[in-house]
Structure 1
Amino acid sequence: MITEKRCPSCGIIKHVSDFGRNRTLTDGLSFYCLACNRERNRAWYREHRRSLGKEVWDHSWIPEGFRWCPSCEQPVAHEDYTRNARTASGFGSRCRACDRAANSAGYFYGKYRLSKGQVADMRAAQGGRCAICGDPAQHLDHDHGTGATRQLLCQRCNHGLGLFRDDPALLHAAAFYVDGHRERQLLARLEETFVVRPDSESPSAEPPVGS
């Protein structure tokens, strides 16, 4: 069993681990070494794109162990790149960070039917403030019945709407309840201030000095 083989492209005798597998050849190894095979494939890819009139990126400067990410447009280490067993390279189409961002944006759009850019525009239009109380906005509010997005709210207002089950009648009732008790408290204070109790002395008929 052979342990070494000469690559006809670079002319270097290399260990068999530096060659891919090819069952159609007698030695079971690929004709070219892995490094030369990658370079030949890249050259063919560039020429093919150029023949189609498409833009060709020169990635020859990217160091070994790194891969170009088309999303963030920078070289990324192999361990930080997505994997895909169905591709010839074994890598996915973008780095892990870009893949997480894309998945997050997809989830966000699927839930709210808004892009993060649209939410940023909404935040700018509201001045970053809650649409109800004016505190710093933190949450994107939505109709719990239809799922339609509304405006940005602070945490307390957003939770408050949820606790009142998004029911305007309950919200109005709560407002009347609070106002009613405040009015009763105000009337009680006014009675204590101006109403004369039976056991107290009657106020003088004459106006106070200095009036």
Structure 2
Amino acid sequence: MRNLIQHCLIQKEHFFQWPTSQFTEQPTLRPAAVLLPLVERPQGITVILTRRTEHLQNHGGQICFPGGTYDATQDENPIATALRETMEEIGLPPESVEVAGFLESFQTGTGFLIVPVVGFVKPDFKLQLDPFEVAEAFEVPLDFVFNPDNHQQRVIVVHNVKRSYYQFNYEHWMIWGATAGILINFYQRLSNKKITASEIGNSLSLR
């Protein structure tokens, strides 16, 4: 599974610097990056997710990846953003993460353009959650994420406009919105449903 994941990702040597041309063309978008921390457990690979605290203004109480917005004073590229925010939120140091590559960027309805960075984490880590931002952290098996039977598609009406989104229900957690969308993109990339030359080219054109 590890080799397949590494083969299907957009590779590290192609990552772009901040800011990208897409942010220049759409200045209302806020650049952000998240980490998909993949844990190599004996029983299979899992991904670490967090639940944000309820009081946060953006996506409070929702399930998400560790990550956050670009900081021009600290971050050279999306990898730097993802690793810095992951350290701040869940206490996972950058040296514990082996970055493998990234997925295509994901635009949210709340005005963020997210670059998902994928990295492998050895299972002997210990997390230290920031209680202001993170209510809890947990792991979801990739076998669950990659099972199409668990992919639920929903429709919501926002300002009289219908919008569809994906949702996963894992144990007592509801995973939806951008997090579920990024997981679906991950699944589709590995299952070879969306890998085309033009699609990869569009992702890399953000440099």
Q: TM-score range by the shorter chain?
A: under 0.3
TM-score (norm: length of structure 2): 0.20
TM-score (norm: length of structure 1): 0.19
Q: Which has the higher strand share?
A: 2
Structure with the larger RCO, 1 or 2 (CA within 8 Å, 6+ apart): 2
Q: Which has the higher helix share?
A: 1
